[in-house]
Amino acid sequence: MDTLAVVFEQPETLSLRRLSLVSPADEDVIVAIRWSGISTGTERLLYTGQMPPFPGLGYPLVPGYEAVGEIVHAGPESGRTVGQQVFIAGSKGFEGARGLFGGQAARVVVPGARTVPLADSVQERGVLLALAATAYHALGVGKRALPDLIVGHGALGRLIARLTIVLGGAAPTVWEINPIRSEGAQGYRVVHPDEDVGTSYSCIQEVSGANGLLDTLISRLKPGGTIVLAGFYHEPVSFVFPPAFLREATLAVAAQWAPGDLAAVAELTNSGQLNLDGLITHTHNAEQAELAYTTAFTDPNCVKMILDWSSVA
């Protein structure tokens, strides 16, 4: 069996070509992908060749870890049934290309245990589940205070703000310097940092990925407060020590989501508690993958780009 897939042939080179799927085992399912999301974090690093080395990294590769589709084959030990709508955070792989993470394809093979059932009403919004899990993980639920300031109003910042409210926190303030991205708030306020006079924040979530902000954020922190670095930083992160010392500031780094985070946001999404409306701003057919990636990586109007695979066999 083969499938059409997005392939990063080498850094800065993208193609859409057919690849053979690995054979499914008894615990696997085959999913016909309907929608897949483009990550402007991980996938941009893979596309540009800036991803730090890790086991399994190499080209050519099939990216993608944000996909929703329908199970069209369920192995007898998969724990799933044909016809279920599921989210997948990658696939088992292909022949002729590495599957990092292997979700950008018309069909994929994946262990049933690694699929997340979705309510039928979720539809294309389900591609946001991995990003929502990243936001949930960054919040460190039960380990630290919910944020009262979020820096950056992209898709991740919006999800952190929405989850903060869903989890019972007060509506946070969100900083955004791009007026195009200042729209779309749901129950919280978005301001330019120069317009915000707050100087006593307990927990600041930095999700913009911009370097050189720590000194400014430390100056807005209350004594004993926490700054969470939830973006990805290509250059060394540094700060002036005395102000941080005087505030006894805590710096935390949020890494990749864990399975428990994905399960938590899936429950919130399927129950309707977490609203994912308005976050997907752009959609392209899978055949327009190259244009879609260019738009996702360069257009400030694009909060979230998805590929529609419905017309691809």
pLDDT number for residue 313 = 63
Task: Report the CATH number at residue 161.
Answer: 3.40.50.720
Domain boundary at 237, 253, 269, which?
Answer: 253
Strands of the 173-175 sheet, one edge to the other: 189-191, 173-175, 149-151, 201-206, 221-229, 250-253
From residue 241, give the alpha-carbon distance in Å to each of 14, 69, 225, 248.
Answer: 44, 49, 15, 10
pLDDT of residue 287: 96
Kindly report the average pLDDT of the chain as a whole number: 95
Q: Give the three-state DSSP class for 94.
A: strand
Of all residues in the chain, the percent with pLDDT exceeding 90 is: 88
Residues 72 and 41 in one domain: yes
**Of 103, 22, 34, which Cα lies nearest the Cα of 62?**
103
Q: List the domain range (segments joined by +) for residue 219.
A: 141-253
Q: Within the chain, which residues score under 70 in pLDDT?
A: 313
In a domain, 124, yes or no: yes
**Do 13 and 106 have their domain in common?**
yes
- pTM value? 0.93
Q: Are 174 and 213 part of one and the same domain?
A: yes
Q: What percentage of the chain carries pLDDT values higher than 70?
A: 100
Burial-class residue 199 by CB neighbours within 10 Å (0-12, 13-18, 19+).
Answer: exposed
Q: What is the predicted pLDDT for the residue at 202?
A: 97
Same domain, 287 and 233: no
Question: Number of structural domains, the chain?
Answer: 2
Which pLDDT score is estimated for 93?
Answer: 87
Strand-pair category, 250-253 with 189-191? unpaired
